[in-house]
Amino acid sequence: MRGGRIGARTKLLIWLIMPSLILEAAIILLAQSNTTSFLRQTQDGALNGMVVQSVRLMESQMNDLVLNVLGIEDEILYGEKVPADWVRSMEAAAQTRPELVRGVVYLRNDGLIVGYPEYFWDSFAQKEMNVIRAQTKNSNMGVVWSEPFTSTMGSTGLNSLVSIVTKQVIDEEGKQEGVLAFVTDVTSIVQRSAAFAGNYDTRTLLYDQKDRLIYSITIVARNSYETLEYAERNTQTLSAAKANFERNDEYYVISDMKQAPFWKVVIVGDVKTLENKYRPIVQFAIMILLLGSAGLIFLYIGVSWWFTKPITSLTKGIRHIATGHLDHTFEVVRQDEFGEMAREFNRMMRTIQELIETLKQTEEQKRQADFQMLLAQINPHFLYNTLNTIDIMVDFKGKEEIHRVMTVLIRLLKYGLDRTNVLRRLDEELTYVKDYLYIQSVRYEDSFEFNVEDMDEKLGSIPVLKLVLQPIVENAVFHGLRPLTGRKGKLTVTVRPSGKELEIIVADNGVGMSKDKLDGLLQAAAGIDTETINDGNHIGFRNVHERVQLYYGVGYGLGIESDPQSGTIVTVKLRVIETEDGRSEPNRQITAGR
């Protein structure tokens, strides 16, 4: 304990023992309800599994019937055109699932009727024919299931529950030739798919699309072969059945059939018998909790000491590191997780020291790169040519024009030698580019056409890295436009903002570069030394690219596209910096050459 505070070991004992005693009392009081809740969850899980299984069995049987329909349709369309062959195909389909398929019939548009078994169709009831015609009239070309109804064609006599499956027979030209119909026994489908729990009674109820009861069946646990079929008044609709189940505290699960005919299956289980078998679990749980309480208290005392001792040692070491002693290391004496924690902490401290050293080196490299780039902007050759141009202008130009060139040159030198800030406003950087291009236009007597895009105040105030465009523009003039013949050289500088990024595009219609030279330039930007890196074009491009990456990150820098027929496009990708570092006193807006 330090400074009157409760120590970690004491707190751990309190937080371990007190909640355990409270939890033990709560478990004893709630054992009965928790056990019942567990049984209900078990019942719900079992019922969910049964209803899923029942639905899958029903859908599987229905899918088999649909496949039979499609098989007979293919025989009618592409097989032999003799009805006797169709009857044999129908007989094969019916004999495959005789408990489900009660009859098959094909009604052709010209009045021909072919079916199996044949004696069904001699006395075919008007009700079945009406169902087939109605489904054919109101359906599309797919398979359609009718709502279940009683019919003499089922397996249980006069009140058999059947459903008619119809499929329009369409030839290759899209013309309807007739309709193919199955009579399927719904009772057999439900009975073969009814849920069986084994330990208690289950009921399976089937409802149609309008939530009306189709059929229900009960499987009695005492004799799994005994089934009770009934239709209670309080389950005639799904809503009434749900209210009845909840009123009588019965467990039930509802599942929709995902495919036609979109019926609903309800499984109801009686779990009361199962609950009675698990009542002794509560007494047994209470006894175990009481016997284990005393042992837990002694265990907590030992565990708290075992856990808190290495934690206390780590805490002391962290306090020591917080005072600035980054060379502190922890003694590793244990081979468990706490020992691993000490080893990882030691490794983390070594990594931190290495990162600090790397950061120092990176900052120094960045500073040196910035300094070298600033020096590289003022090309002595450029100054020599500019002063030589001014000397020539003394003989041929007026005083005002000479004064204008001198003013622009002084402004260029002042901007380039100003080291007060690494970042400058975008409009200031573009003004510097305009001044540089003005000097070049005077030197080459307007042989080239330059255009630097104007922008609004908001975009122009974005801070960008200083002197990042001048080397690119210089390369475009000397290596792209100056050797150009046959057309007038043009150079444009445009700005394209995109969210948190900014792209500055320098495009010229000069001589461009060959693929080999472009590859060498891209390799130079990636820091790969090649034999082609021997001119200012490569060096300037690489220096600007490295400077941008040092400041903005690896994801930023220069991209280039070039074609000897159309010229070169250099894209400078920067990140929009929202910091006070980039803000400077707004300079007076000066038009290049004014």
Which CATH number is 406's domain given? Answer: 3.30.565.10
CATH number at residue 92: 3.30.450.20
Tell which of 347, 375, 403 closes a domain. Answer: 375
196 and 279 within one domain: yes
| Residue 587 resides in a domain | no
Arithmetic mean of pLDDT over the chain = 77
Considering the domain architecture, whether residues 408 and 363 belong to the same structural domain is answered as no
Residues 405-433 pLDDT 10s: 889 888 888 887 777 777 889 999 999 99
- 295 burial via Cβ count (<10 Å: 0-12, 13-18, 19+): exposed
- Is the pLDDT confidence value at 257 over 60? yes
Instruction: Please tell me the pTM assigned to this model.
Output: 0.42
Q: What amino acid is encoded at 271 in this protein?
A: V
Same domain, 455 and 339: no
Answer yes or no: is 593 within a domain: no
Residue 303: inside a domain: no
Dump pLDDT digits (tens) for 372-404: 665 555 556 667 777 887 888 887 778 888 888
User: Do the beta carbons of residue 548 and residue 478 sit within 8 Å?
Assistant: no
Mean pLDDT value across residues 71-95: 79
* Residue 461 located in a structural domain: yes
CB 45 within 8 A of CB 59: no
| H/E run at residue 254 | strand 251-256
Cα–Cα distance measured from residue 148 to residue 581, given in angstroms and rounded to the nearest whole number: 80
Q: Are residues 222 and 141 in the same domain?
A: yes
Q: What is the residue range of 552's domain?
A: 380-529+537-575
Are residues 184 and 118 part of one domain? yes
Phi-psi region of 490 (alpha: psi -120 to 50; beta: other; left: phi over 0): beta
CA distance 284 to 35: 12
Most confident of 111-120, 240-249, 429-438: 429-438
What total number of domains does the chain contain? 3
The answer as to whether 302 is a domain residue is no
Residues 94 and 193 in one domain: yes
**Contacts from 28-37 at CB under 8 Å and sequence distance 24+?**
28/286, 28/289, 28/290, 31/282, 31/285, 31/286, 32/282, 35/278, 35/279, 35/281, 35/282, 35/285, 36/275
10 Å CB burial of residue 479 (0-12, 13-18, 19+) is: buried
What is residue 491's predicted lDDT score, i.e. its pLDDT? 95
Cα–Cα distance, 582 to 462 (Å, whole number): 8
Asked if residue 423 is part of any domain, the answer here is yes
Is residue 95 a part of any domain in this protein?
yes
Structure letter (DSSP) for residue 237: B
At 505, the pLDDT band (50, 70, 90 cuts) reads very high
Query: Both 265 and 185 in a single domain?
Result: yes
Mean pLDDT over 220-233 rounds to 64
- Note the pLDDT tens digit of each residue in 185-202: 888 888 877 766 666 678
Looking at 234, 268, 294, the residue that finishes a domain is 294
- d(CA 321, CA 315) in angstroms, rounded, equals 10
Residues 396, 354 share a domain: no
- The rounded Cα 537 to chain-centroid distance in angstroms is 44
- Do 272 and 364 share a domain, yes or no? no
**Does a structural domain hold residue 498?**
yes
- On whether both 341 and 430 belong to a single domain, the answer is no
Residues 358 and 392 in one domain: no
Same domain, 445 and 544: yes
pLDDT, tens digit (0-9, with 9 covering 90-100), for 4-32: 456 555 666 666 667 776 776 676 666 66
List, for residues 546-584, the tens digit of each pLDDT value. 888 888 888 899 999 998 888 999 999 999 987 554 443
